[in-house]
Chain A
Amino acid sequence: MERGDVLAGLKDAVIQMDEDRARALAEAALAAGMDAYDAIMNGLAPGMAVVSEMYDNEEYFVPEILLCADAMYAALEVLRPHLNAATMPHQGKVVIGVVAGDIHDIGKNIVRMMLEGAGLEVHDLGRDVPVRRFVDEAERVGADIIAMSTLMSTTMENMRQVVQELERRGTRDRFKVIIGGGPLSTPFADKIGADAYGRDAADAVRLVQRLLAKEAENVA
């Protein structure tokens, strides 16, 4: 198969929620000697970008997004073992999880998927994640971003505690902290000292890219 056909096929399989075809095309990409990173960044990622746009435009909703994710992960599972870390540009690392006391993780899973679809390295801590675990893991993996989610008003306060834990350890400026979920808002992000609030998954990707770009600028 030609590179162009494989990439277009991967993109389309993600958009069409076609898990089997996504997996088969990932295998075809490797069989044709394509670089796994190329297949991810130029096949799956553009597919997820379209999915994200369709979600923004209210054409796709959660069921579709979850099925697109299944297709994307089916291909990623095939491609990931063949990634060559040495030749890959640094894409930014995100530690993500649902805060302690809350188990609603669909929103978080969608954000994770969109971030992975955009080529970021995402460490998913799951749901009901204790305050310290966010900070421990972010330090351990050298994350750029800590992303927290909750759907419940009762657990929002745990986000503040993560920020306070970072301050206590003197590592607050090493990470950008972003939050999202039903009851949250930009004023709440400001109030607890987070860097930003993301309205939805597409917004979260834009936020992360903006924060990473800013970081790169500061370093340069």
Chain B
Amino acid sequence: MSPEMTPKERFLAFLQGQPVDRYLCVPLILNHANRAAGLKVSETITDGPALGKAHADCYRKFGQDMITLFTDTSLLAESMGTGLKYFDDEPPRVEEPIVQTLDDIAKVRRPDPHSDGRLPVFLEAIKSANAEVGDEVFVACCYAMPFTIAAALMGTDVFVKSTRKNPAIAHRLLKLAMEAALDYTDAIIAAGGVPVPVDPVASCSVIGPKQYAEFARPYTQPILAKIAAAGLPPVLHICGHSHLIWDQMVDGGAAVISVDKVDLHDASASVGTRCCLMGNVPPAEVLLYGTPEIVAARTLEGIRLAGQNPGGYIVASGCEVPLGTPDENIAAMLQTVREYGKPA
């Protein structure tokens, strides 16, 4: 065991159950990578090589254990027909869902990962980041799971109501979303990236465990299985509350569950023998508005609560590191893990 493993060596050792020099630390630096590289969101949003380079520059600055490419959860929905609104220095958001009437479902297209919407941007970004720093760090691409995609195809409120009022329509939309996500999973892997599924709209902050079982899990499971079949760790990130569905996330094929507003100790007691936990330094309260001392304390708290998790623990932020988070706070999170994050 070398005293200074590269993030890639550390990740590989961790996944293979071999000794590591310290805990893995993955603040989810997504849009903020632009700021860390001195760019605005709009300067890379449709420019894959520039996006990849911004993330590489951000990695060189902080040395986090994984690069996480992502701009918004509407990426796949956009490639299927939903209209987004773009901004100068914020991620885009849904402006016009493609499915406004039931007939509109026929308009939803199965996207080509290499030509539709901004899907190719991320494939190029994976290649560009890998060309820059891929020898020492894994490049992940986060993308929405079918439940979250379907919400962006129909509008979240209409879609979640449809799960009760018109389940057949919800299932049709979810199947289309799943096909798109499966295709994109293949494309990410082929480009040399690690697919990291995220499903914020399926969180317990929105739907209950019964709806998760019927509308989210069956459509996420094949995607996680595809990732596992490629020899990669199936991660599932669900922000907000997730305490009622931890078992379903794991039973549905996630080897790593990335959690946000939950008690890590409870999560460990509940599913910790069956999965690795990732989380959950609070993005706004601690990273954006805290001080390096507060960040350090909260980072250590995570290690105290989940560091002994039988399935392993990865220090991470609970959700996206906010745009404009002070450099010293991100650095404090990593430095804390470097100094104190040595597994017993």
Contact = CB atoms under 8 A, between A and B. Distances in A.
Interface of A: 17, 58-64, 66-67, 70, 101, 103, 106, 109, 153-154, 156, 182-185, 187-188, 191
Given A58-B244, A62-B207, A154-B322, 19 more contacts: A60-B208, A61-B207, A61-B208, A62-B160, A63-B160, A63-B163, A63-B211, A66-B157, A66-B160, A67-B164, A103-B93, A106-B157, A154-B324, A156-B288, A182-B240, A183-B322, A185-B284, A188-B284, A191-B289
B285 A187 contact: yes
A37 B157 CA distance: 29
A187 to B, nearest CB: 7
Given A64-B164, A67-B164, A106-B156, A153 B288 contact: yes
Interface string B30-61: 00000000000000000000000000000000
Contact of A17 (B164, B206, B289): B164
Closest 10 CB pairs of A and B: A183-B284, A153-B322, A153-B284, A61-B208, A63-B160, A62-B206, A185-B285, A61-B207, A154-B323, A66-B161
Interface of B: 90, 93-94, 156-157, 160-161, 163-165, 204-208, 211, 240, 244, 282-285, 288-289, 320, 322-324
Contacts of A103: 93-94
Nearest to A154: B323
B90 A154 contact: yes
Contacts of B244: 58
Contact of A67 (B94, B156, B165, B322): B165
A67 B285 CA distance: 32
Given A63-B211, A154-B322, A182-B240, A101 B90 contact: yes
Nearest to B165: A67
A130 to B, nearest CB: 15
A58 B206 CA distance: 11
Contacts of B206: 61-63, 106
B96 to A, nearest CB: 12
A159 B227 CA distance: 41
A101 B324 CA distance: 15
A62 B156 CA distance: 10
A188 B164 contact: no
Contacts of A70: 161
25 contacts: A58-B204, A58-B244, A61-B206, A61-B208, A63-B160, A63-B211, A66-B157, A66-B161, A70-B161, A101-B90, A103-B94, A153-B284, A153-B288, A153-B320, A153-B322, A154-B90, A154-B322, A154-B323, A156-B284, A182-B205, A183-B282, A183-B283, A183-B284, A184-B284, A188-B289
B27 to A, nearest CB: 13
B47 to A, nearest CB: 21
Nearest to B244: A58
A36 to B, nearest CB: 27
A60 B165 CA distance: 15
Given A153-B283, A154-B90, A109 B165 contact: no
A61 B204 contact: yes
B207 to A, nearest CB: 5
Contacts of B240: 182
Contacts of B288: 153, 156, 183
A175 to B, nearest CB: 24
A156 B284 CA distance: 9
A188 B287 CA distance: 13
B249 to A, nearest CB: 17
A3 to B, nearest CB: 31
Contacts of B323: 153-154
Contacts of A106: 156-157, 206
A67 B158 CA distance: 10
Nearest to A17: B164
Given A58-B208, A62-B206, A63-B207, A183 B285 contact: yes
